[in-house]
Every structure is written in C-alpha cells, then in structure tokens.
Structure 1
Amino acid sequence: MLKRSTKLSRRLALLLSAGIGLGSVAVTAHAEDAAQTTTPAVQPASFGAWGVDLAGRDTAEKPGNNFFKYANGTYLDHLTIPSDMTSYGPFNALAELSRQRVQTILNELSAHPVKHPASIEEKLGTFYASFMDEKSVEKQGTKPMQADLDAILKMKDAAAFATLAGSATTGFATSPFSLAINPDAKDPTHYALNVDQDGLGLPDRDYYLKPEFAAKKTAYQTYITKVLTLIKWPEPAQAAAAIVAFETKLAETHWARADLRNPEKTYNPMTVADLAKAAPGFDWVGWLTAAGLPKEGLENRTVIVGEPSAITSGAAELAKADIGLLQAWEAFHTVENATSYLPDAFVQARFEFSKALTGQPALPARWKRGVQATSSAMGMALGKVYVERYFPAENRTAMQKLTNDLKDAFRIRLQHNTWMSKPTREAALRKLENFEVQVGYPNEWRDYSDLAVKKGDVYGNAKNGIAFEWHYWVARLDKPVNRNEWDMTPQTVNAYNNPLFDQVVFPAAILQPPFFNAKADAAVNYGAIGGVIGHEMTHSFDDEGRKFDEHGRLRDWWTKADADRFQKLADRLGAQYDAFEVLPGVHVNGKLTMGENIADLGGLTLALDAYHASLKGQPALVIDGLTGDQRVFLGWAQVWREKLRDDTVKQLVVTDPHSPPQARVNIPMHNIDAWYKAWDVKAGDKLYLTPKERVKIW
C-alpha cells in the first residue's frame, strides 16, 4: 500500500507490507492531536500542460548520476516540510486535500449536533462537533477516564490483569499480545483468530535494544513520567523506569520485522488449550473471554499464533511481573491511547515526546485531529459521502482500462519468463487470471446503526467506535468471509494488495495528480498510476505474495528450483538496496524492504510495457523535447518527490517495508535496459550497471 502505519493489527500486516506507499511513522498519527497551531499552506503542485512539473527538475544533474535529483531536485530544494508534518510530498499533499474535503463535509453535518443522533449524518456531525468543543473537553478534564483508571487500580492479580488486557479490544486499555480476526491464510473463505506479539510503546524493538536509539528511549521514559504525573500516579518516575525496563524485556523476545514478512513462519495454528500449555504464565481463556469471544468450546477453538517464541517468552515475563508494575503499565498506555480525547496538558506531553522521536516541530490544527477521530470511528460512512462528492465516475472507468492494460503486459511477461519452469509459469498465469481489482470504493457499504454517539461525550464516543469495530469482526468469526470488505477507506491516499483474496484495491483519493491525471499525457499516467497498478499486481508474486495461490491460500505452488532461482535474483536486488545510504551511516534494509523493492521494479517494468502496447505500433510523440519513454520514467519519479525529516528517515529505515524515495526511483531505473537508452546512460555514470549486473525478475 502507499503509506504504512507502524502500529498495526495483523488484519493489515500482510496488506500494508504488500503496498506501494511510503510508510508513515507512528507519531504522525499521534500528531493529529493538535492545539491551535496552524501551518502555512504548501503551494499546490503544478504539473504543467501535460502532467510533469518540468520546472521542478534539476537539469544540471545528469540523469545517469542521480535520476531522482534530475527529476525532482529543484522542487525539493525549494520545498519546506510543513511544521506539523514529518515529511512532505504527493502522499501528504493528497492526504491534506482529502482531510480538507472531509472537514467540509463534517462542518456541514456538525452545524446542528443532536443529543442522541440516529441517522448516520447526525452521528457524523455530532461526533465531530463534540470533538471540536475543546472548552467542554477541558472542563470535563480526566473525569471521563476515571472509570477506566479505577478498573486498573482494582486489578489485584494475574487473572484480573488478563481480563483487563482482554478488554483492550473494546476500549483504550492495552494488551501484551494483539488479537485480530482475519481470513484464515490456509482457508481464506473462513475467518480465523490471530494472536501476535505486542505491548511496546516505542516504534520497534530496535528502539529498546540498539544504542543509536538510546536518546529516544530516554525521551520515552520522560514522557511516561509526565503522563503518570498528570494522573497523580504514585512515584511516577520510579514507575516509568520500571515500565521501560519491562518493555525492554518484551522487546528482547520480539521477532524482527524482516522475519514477520514470512507468512509460513507466522502461521502456527493451535488450540487455545495448546496455547495455554505452550505459553504458561498468562490466563489465555480469561483474556479471550474478556475480548468477547464465545465461551462455549473456547479451549478447543483454533488460533493462529504469529510468533510462538515471542508469545511464550512474553507470557513468562508477565508471570514474573509485579502487579503494581502492570497497573502502572496499563494506566500509562490507557492514557496514551486516549490522549486525543483528553485535555491539552496530555496532548502537549505526548507532542513533546513526538518531537523528540521524529523532529516534527509543531502540532497540526485541532480540526485535523477531529477529522482523524471521526474517520477512525466511521470511516466508511464518511467515505460514502466523499465518493458522492469528489470521485468522478470516469476515473473509475479509466482505472479499470489501465488495470487491464497492465494485466495484459504482465501476462506477456509471464508467458516469456525464462527462469520459471513450465508448471510454475502456468500456475502463475492462472493466478493472474483470477486477479481481482476494486477501484474507488467498496461494492458494499457498512451499516453503522449499532454505533452509539452522544452529544458532548468525546471520550465515550471514541470508545464506542473502538468497541463497534471489534464487535463488527467478532460477529463474523464463524461466518463465510466477505470479499467485499475493504481495509482502507475511499478517502485514504493509498493502495494495497490483499494476497488472501488475490485482489488489489485502489481507493478514490489516490486517483488524482500526480498518480492519475485525466489531463496528462498517456505516457505520464502509465509511469505514475500504471506503475502503481503494476506494483500492486507484482506483489502477488513477490517473496511474500508468491506463497499464496490463485485462491488466496497459503500454499507453496513453486518448484524448489524455481524458488531457488527467484531467491537468487531477489538477493541480488536486495544487495543493491543494502548498499544504498539514505543518510551518513544509515542504510536501507534490503531484507525488510524486499517485497516493496521487487514490486517497484516489476511495476515500472510493466508500466513501460503497457505504454508501448498502447501505441499499437505507432511512433510515440515527442513533447517538449521528451520522448514517450522519458515521460514514463518522469511520471514514476514525480510520484516519489518527497522530503523527510532526518529522525523520520531513521525511524522508517527500521520500521517501514518501503525504501526511501530516492531509492524507489534510482534503483528500479538502473535495472531497466530501456532507461539507459532513454537517457543515454553510459559506463562512468554513477547509476550505471553492466547488463549482467541488472536484475530482471518480471
């Protein structure tokens, strides 16, 4: 997908690692918690007469030395990241446009909030109006949260802790393990329960264990101390130190993110009874019961355990933990999870930590926080209104045509693949033919009739939204999977590949310039949105996606020889990314980013093929001195013209399966033969690779 959050349920884990976009750091989600800070608007991007910002290029840079800089250098030299953001580029610009459009919708709907709203329009308007009533939030103080804090103080033993942690699915509490309901990876027609490692407050285990993040860890402990002080917790500094020490122990047990990308290693089915034997020290039945799962037959119900060693070790750590520590840990994380709905003192405390973590200097305006909060609770309801107002029907039609063009190009690539054996190639073609694309908005809209919203109850409304979402999935647990469910809202600037459905989804909000531009030259659209389409398609055949068959089942349908040949090519490509230095001493993790890198190379390759096929044998036009192939490459490069803060880069290199923008342009390009011809790249240029060094997978 296009942007990735670092705090995810397993529901999104495969989807988000099989997407196209740059990851968003965890604190960006927090940073919608804004006071009254306003940020000067960034000037809207100009894409010229035919879809490319020619003035944004740095023509003093030789394309063969740094194509990213050649295509985007002048634009980026004059770009200042808004003070309330950690990065800025096309994703951010379109996300901001989407927020503004949603704000317009919510401003209209919230003009007359209702005490007990019934219609979805009333619920949306009342939810947003209540959130925006900052005076009321300040007046209520911590009273709305008191019942949750009292429940924590009443927690006197391990069984009570497991019960409280289980309730995290329906409120602001936290849990040392995550629980999700997803299609079963080996039978995606039915849902399964997934249990995974969790419990860390910093972005990744490396933040606890590696010395280069020591300052961030210290800032985190300072933040915990401030939060506990605000709620008058006894000995807050001592409790904060104990919490960080406890989470460090959990971090030592956690699997690395690169290992989480292996769907075979993270598929470990067992009954709840077997889980209790494998991971003693935690009341699993009590935890699951508190989460609302049916009690009857619970011990015999199957769960899919993602990281068995981490779950076992985590349970052992919990068994040793003092109940006072667990109370403080729960109290801190409950406040942290609810901060958006609490008075400004809590927001400011979190922002100070956010600033230390990412370098973001200012908080966004409160209305952005309100848009985010309302979207979290009723995203699909907002999406329906968004589509009606802002998504032209012709965009859906144009995308469907482009998708078919890319699918045709991929079919030809597979038919002529030289390193695949015939049986594997035939199976790959079957998978491609089964490939489903959904564009703009889902085929079915969600019903929010059961979601309770009350005027003036900011904390309660948000908590009800969390509970509604969880109950929505619990109700589906023993029912057939609905393939029309989306894991993104239409107003999300992103796209994703769902390997369990052999499906890709393109929300409405991404189908705008520079990704898709109805007024642009065809070559530019093929390079931009065509590259995105190809990227998502090839995710079905990357190092993760290839392990799912044409029905979305986790099954090894490759011969060993084919898998070995594929891996050798993937390793060669990974080495190119490992060598890429983002900042002095900071390198891309080629293993973590492998799937995205393969998809970038495949997507751009397919986009170029589809563009050539669209010419139907006719010569391409030359526009402003640029050939068709050159415009395809510029279309792709322009999508990635993003600037990031240094601390954000350092975080994303550890947490994000997507490579940084420069790498997403330069490395795929210099593996494609047509790029050399298009830009007259020769030996001696910095990006030059000999033909034998170029990696060709699809």
Structure 2
Amino acid sequence: MKYSSLIYCGIVLITINGCARPESKKVSNIPDKFIDPVNMDTTVRPGDDFFHYANGVWMKNNPIPDKETRWGSFNELREFNAQAVKGLLEEAAANTNATPGSIEQRVGDFFKSSMDSLAIEEAGAKPIIEDLNRIDKINDLKGIINEINHQQSTGLTSPFYDFYVYQDSKNANKNMPQLSQGGITLPDRDYYLVTNDRNNTIKEAYKKYIAALFKLTGLSEEQAAANFDAIWKTESILAKSQKSRVEMRDPIATYNKFSLEQFSQNTQPFNWVEILPALKVNGADSIIVDNPQFFIDEGKLIASTPIEDLKVYLKWNILKKSAPYLSKDFVDANFAFAQVLSGQKVMTPRWQRNFTLIDNTIGDLLGQLYVAKYFTPEAKQRMQDLVKNLSVTFAERIQDLDWMSEETKKKALEKLNAFTPKIGYTDKWETYDGLEINADDFYGNVKRADQWNYDYMVSQYGKPVDRTRWGMTPPTVNAYYNPVNNEIAFPAGILQFPFFAFEADDAINYGGIGAVIGHEMTHGFDDQGRQFAADGNLKDWWTSEDATKFKERADKVVDQYNKYTVLDTINVNGNLTLGENLADLGGLAIAYAAFKKTPQGQSNELIDGLTPDQRFFLSWAQVWRMNIRPETAAQFILVDPHSPADARTVGPIVNMDAWYKAFNIQEGDKLFVPEKDRIKVW
C-alpha cells in the first residue's frame, strides 16, 4: 500500500487464524554483558565524543559486510531476524503436505518460486514482453493516459505520480483518494537539479542502467542509449516541479482538497472524473492533492512531449520495477546501478532479497509464522508495562512545562491519553483471500500480489476506516507513530536486544526500548504530529502564544543539528530531520524520567563498574552504533528524515543535565553546552 510521507514516523529509514497457536519460542541473542567494556574506546573522553567513547572498539571490530550498505545494532538485529525467518521459509517450502490454501502452502510456494533460478533464467524477459508490446501499440495521447491508468491500477508501477486511498487528514474516519508528486527514479529531486561530481557520477550510472535494461529487451545499443535522453528530460521536468522534502513535511501546505471537475480544469489532459473509475475508485467527487502545481506542470509536460518519448518513459517504469524479479542479467544491471548510489560491495543473497519481498507483499501470512514461533506473551506484557510507565511520565512532564499554558496542556494531555498502543502484531490478520500463489511462477506471484494489494487499498474507499491495520510487519526492526490514528506501534522484531531483554536491568531497557517508546510518543507532539488532535484530525489545538513558544524551541533544535556534518563537508539538514530530532530529544528525556522511578534508577548500585545512569546513557548510545558507507551517508543526507547515527547519539544527551553529571562532563569538553543553552521542549 502507498502512503504519504507523513503517515508513518519510524525510529529508522522496517495466533494463526483458525488454528491453535504453536508453543512460542523466544529468539535469543542475549550477550554475556549488556554493556560490554570491550566495545568501548575509553581512550576517548566521553565529553569530547560520546559516540566513539561508547562504541569505538565495536566499530573497529565490525566492518560493514560486503552485502550491506551500513552495519550497526539495527542491522545486526535485522540479520538475526532474517536468519530466523529463513528457517520458516525453507520449512514451509519443503512442506509437501501443507494444506492447499494454508498459510504454509502460500508462503512456501512464494518462496519456492523465488528461489527457482533455473525457471527464472529460462523465462528471461518473457514476463514483461506483453506489457512492452502493449505500449508499442499506443499512437495518441489518449492511449498514453490509458496506459498510465493501467500501470497504476494493476499495482504494476506508478508513472508520473503516486496514487493511493487513505484516511483524510481532516476527517480521519473517512478514506479518500489522494494524489502525490512522483514520477522520478533517482532518490531525490536534487539528483536532477544540482550539478556536482557525485551527482554527475550517478547520472552516468543511471544512463548505463537504462541502456542495459533496454538492450535486454532486444533493442540495439544505439536505440537503448538514445532512450536515456527522453527519460532524463521527462524526469528532470518532474523533479523541477516537485516540492522539496522539507516542504513536503508541512501537513497544512500538502493538504489540498478539490472537486474532480475543478482539479481537472487545471491539469488537462488529466481528466480525473474519468481517471478515478479507471483506477477502480467509483463514486468519488473529490480528491486530496499534496502538490497541485506539480500536477498542473505535469499536464503541460504530457501535452507537449512527443508520444514516442512518453512511450519510452512508460516502458522504463515497467523495466525498472520488474528488473529485480527477472533473469540474472536484469538483476545484475539493477545491482550495478544500486552500487553507485549506495556503495554496497556485493549483492544481497537471493534468499534474503526474497524474504524482504515476501514480507512486503504478504507480510501478514509470513508474520503469523514468525510470531507463532518467536514472540512470547511475556514480552508483550512487559512492553505494555513500559508503555504505561512512559505515558504516565510524559503526562507529568507536560503538566510541569513552564512554557505552555494550562489551556494547551489540557489538550495535550487529552491527546496523550487517547494514544492507541500496538505491540507485537495485529489483532486481525489479513488473509489475502483470492490471491493466487504458484510454486512455479515467481514473476506472476509478484504481479498478482501487487494487484491484490492495490485492489485492497482502493476497496477501502467508502468503507469505515480499519484502525486495526498495521503499517509494519511483525519481523520489522522498527517502530512508528501514525498521526491520523493517533497510535504508536512496536513490531515484535524490535523487541529484542539491544532494545529490549528480559534478562537486562532497567537501565538497559529504558535506555533502549524505553527511549524508542518515548520517541514514538513524542512524534505525536513534534512539529508535524502536534498539528493533529486527539481524534487524529488535522486541526489546530494550540493557543497562538504556545505555538510561538514551541517554534522558538524547535528552531533551536534545527540550529543545533545543522552544525553536525557527514563526510567532513556535508551538513545535516536540521529542517528535514526536525521531527526525528525532536522525537529523540523528547523520547530520551521521557525514558530517563521513567527510569528514575524504578528501584535501579533510584539507586547507586554499580554493575560492571558503571552507575545506573551511566548504563542508561550507554544503552542509548549502543543502539545507534553504526558504520556506514560514504555513498550511503551522502544519499541519506538528502532523503532520510533521521539524522546520522553519531548525531542521534549526542544530539539529545548534550541537552540533558543528567548526562553531564553521570560522566562528569566539564566546561572545555568538546560536547559541553552551557546549562542556559540546553534545549528542553517536552
């Protein structure tokens, strides 16, 4: 399902129906020591570089695996979960006695088909030839519009724009058709609009990628190379019309509601009165658009571009979407381009790529197998206790704010108390009724799954909002806040060390998963989330004075993170990362206050020579330990709303008095911030 960039604010840029629940088995990756001194670089002063003080030796001893673009705590746990799921997939694929239509049969057959390299090689480009031939037959603008509709409505790909049905931000109980700017291949508009050595290198790699895929469909090298010009010109115009990622963070500016007739007047040749039924949405009279000017410009682009160039662009959308699921030549070309963007050394193993695909397409089937074996009821109960403690603590902090009026505090507490926590996995699994999965048809399985997910999405128009739906699957190592549902969610996959462990002392769990819980709660009150009320609707519940005071504090956070650099020369974008930075700052502060309510938090008992407070802050730091390839780091500065790992580690703590006391940080230390300049928001 497609969502606007607003919907899910994750911590990073991830019982069986009708059956008795098998005995749970706890995944165990518990270390001998929860804070292991061998991972720390104690030659570094904590007040000079807390990130390397806490993680320096670990980083030296844990280089990035060739198949990865970065390597840290999140990646270790994702790898751990992937290996666990691999066993489930292989077991399901080998189960010849699975009941037809059962979870095991469908998951197993999807995985079996994805691992059948002989059949995939034999098919070559055949699975997409029919789509390409259909485009060849187009001879007018009407045919172009029909093809755009076809690609969108089959879930095949999203040429020119993104379309989805989701909750109306100003009426969260109603699902509405929505349009979002899109249509480009490179990760951000700046790759098209900014000229520098890095972007020039990527452009050349993109040119080779386009030529390689077209050659694999039978075009001559000259024809394949010429197609780049048409694609680059089209996508560059689309990029120029797009708003920046910072501009797209404004939920007010990106909420524009039109009648279909009104919007069609300015966006010809797009006639949305005709297009929506073609996209399988019937009976709608209005639509929500994030960037109206983009669609006005896009209409002019399509009307003025030669039909043959538009056909090349539409073929390209099919090729780039399909390449990872076709024969080796396609997959290799796809990876060669990805290497230039990310710096990854070798391709991710086939089984792991396919695990990700299955998780993304039929995640509720795979998720049932995962939680049945690897998630314990005890973990869910412990998380519920932690969420309750964090919520009570957050409420106390709101009440104690010296910059907020009683009127706004009342509304803030109303919103906090209305939070819906989701822990582990959904209470209502999706069954994917009608989705056909065959053990000998990999590309067909992908295509049918995309079609099923699209059809499900558009079927929600006119139906009551299903608030039981999750935005992440159970094995995901991540968490999120959803403003229109006013909910916080923590998939089973993240409820393991270093975030959470039964065996760990409270300092570890509060510095890890406690800070994650606080992070997601704070998203409800960051610069975006604060604009949504307790009922999930986008509406202003602040006094103007309080909103001004909040912005003053948020601006200080922007300034703080703007000073952090990547690769020595590239600065963090404090405006793009503001929401996540506010969530980190608030989340860690709330988690620490909650930790101080525990017996350990109120004691001075040493564990491995560390005080409770030292263990709390070191737990936070080890969550963010990470090595990252320079190519990936440069890309993330453009596209990732999260700050780099070292900035995430030190950004919140330098504003917390308790950290200074715990590690005896003094004036003159590089990270020292005078007490009067420390930022406190929530």
TM score, norm. by length of structure 1: 0.93
**Candidates 68, 73, 79, aligned match of 2:62:** 79
SS of match in other structure, 2:173: strand
Q: Does the alignment pair 1:98 with 2:81?
A: yes
Q: 1-side partners of 2:495 and 2:333: how far apart?
A: 37
Q: What is the Cα deviation at residue 558 of structure 1?
A: 0.6
Distance between the aligned counterparts of 1:115 and 1:157, measured in 2? 50
| 2:241 corresponding residue in structure 1 | 253
Pairing 1:193–2:186 present:
no
Match of 2:23 in 1: none
Partner in structure 1 of residue 405 of structure 2? 421
Query: Aligned AA for 1:319?
Result: A
AA partner of residue 653 (structure 1): I
Give CA deviations for 1:223-272 in whole Å, capped at 9, x if unaligned. 11111111123611111122112101110100000111111111101121
Matching residue within 674, 681, 686 for 2:658:
674
Match of 2:6 in 1: 14
The 1:69–1:475 alpha-carbon spacing in structure 2 relative to 1, beyond 3 Å, is: same
Give CA deviations for 1:644-692 in whole Å, capped at 9, x if unaligned: 1000000000000000000001111101111111111111100011112
Corresponding residue for residue 18 of structure 2: none
SS in 2 for 1:339: helix
Q: Does 2:226 align with 1:238?
A: yes
Q: How does 1:277-676 map to 2 (within 5 A)?
A: 277-294=265-282, 297-298=283-284, 301-615=285-599, 618-676=602-660
* Structure 2 counterpart of 1:59, from 28, 38, 42: 42
Contact conserved, 2:145 with 2:270, CA < 8 A, in 1?
yes
Q: Aligned partners of 1:333, 1:618: CA distance in 2, in Å?
A: 59
Shift of 1:355: 0.9
Q: Does 1:683 find its partner at 2:676?
A: no
Contact 1:208–1:248 (Cα < 8 Å) also in 2:
yes
Letter matched to residue 55 of structure 2: N
Q: CA offset at residue 126 of structure 1?
A: 1.1
Q: CA deviation at 1:546?
A: 0.2
1:20-67 Cα offsets, whole Å, 9 max, x none, are 12x28xxxxxxxxxxxxxxxxxxx987433x22321011111011011
Identity fraction in percent: 39
Partners of 2:45 and 2:53 within 8 A in 1: yes
- Give the alignment partner of residue 154 of structure 1, picking from 132, 137, 140: 137
Work out whether 1:222 is the aligned partner of 2:208: yes
Q: Distance in 2 between matches of 1:452 and 1:321?
A: 39
What is the TM-score when the length of structure 2 is the normalising length? Answer: 0.95
Paired AA for residue 188 in structure 1: A
Offset at residue 19 of structure 1 (A) = 2.1
Q: CA deviation at 1:14?
A: 1.9
Identify if the C-alpha distance between structure 1 residues 459 and 117 changes in structure 2 by more than 3 Å, giving closer, same or farther. farther
Structure 1 residue 10, shift from structure 2 partner: 2.5
Report the secondary structure of 2:677's partner residue: coil
Distance 2:600 2:158 in 1: 58
Over aligned residue pairs, what C-alpha RMSD do you find?
A: 1.7
User: Would you say the 8 A contact 2:172–2:485 is kept in 1?
Assistant: yes
CA contact (8 A) 2:596 2:602 kept: no
Instruction: Check the 8 A contact 1:530/1:607 in 2, yes or no.
Output: yes
More deviation in 226-235 or 347-356?
A: 226-235
Report the Cα distance in structure 1 between the residues aligned to 2:213 and 2:147, rounded to whole angstroms. Answer: 20
Distance 1:279 1:144 in 2: 34
**Alpha carbons of 1:518 and 1:270: their partners in 2 closer, same or farther (altered >3 Å)?**
same
Once the two structures are superposed, what CA deviation does each residue of 1:534-592 show, in whole Å capped at 9, x if it has no partner? 00000000000000001111001111111111111111111111010121211100000
What is the count of residue pairs matched by the alignment? 664
TM-aligned CA deviation for residue 127 of structure 1:
1.2
Deviation digits for residues 353-404 of structure 1 (CA, Å, limit 9, x no counterpart): 1111111110011111221222222111110110010001111000010111
Cα distance in 2 between the residues matched to 1:386 and 1:10 = 25
- The runs of at least 4 aligned residues of structure 1 exceeding 6 Å deviation read 113-116
User: How much does 1:286 deviate?
Assistant: 4.3
Determine helix, strand or coil for the equivalent of 2:675: coil
Whether the 8 Å CA contact 1:115–1:454 is kept in 2: the answer is no
- What residue number does 1:37 align with? none
Instruction: Write the mapping of 1:84-233 to structure 2, written as runs, cut at 5 A.
Output: 84-112=67-95, 117-169=100-152, 170-212=154-196, 213-233=199-219
Preserved CA contact (<8 Å) 2:595 2:601: no
1:613 Cα offset (Å): 1.2
Q: Judge conservation of contact 1:629–1:678 (CA < 8 Å) in 2.
A: yes
Q: Is the 8 A contact 1:255 1:307 kept in 2?
A: yes
Q: In the aligned structure 2, how far is the partner of 1:165 from the partner of 1:226?
A: 24
Alpha-carbon deviations, 1:284-305, whole Å to 9, x = none?
34433332222xx45xx21110
The aligned runs of 1:25-44 (5 Å cut-off) are none
Does 426-435 or 171-180 show the bigger shift? 171-180
Question: Conserved in 2, the CA contact under 8 Å of 1:113 and 1:125?
Answer: no
Of 108-117 and 211-220, deviating more is: 108-117
Once residues 51 and 559 of structure 2 are traced to their aligned partners in structure 1, the CA distance between those partners, rounded to angstroms, is 20
Structure 2: which 5+ residue stretches go unaligned? 15-27
Please state whether the residue corresponding to 1:203 is helix, strand or coil.
coil
The aligned counterpart of 2:22 is none
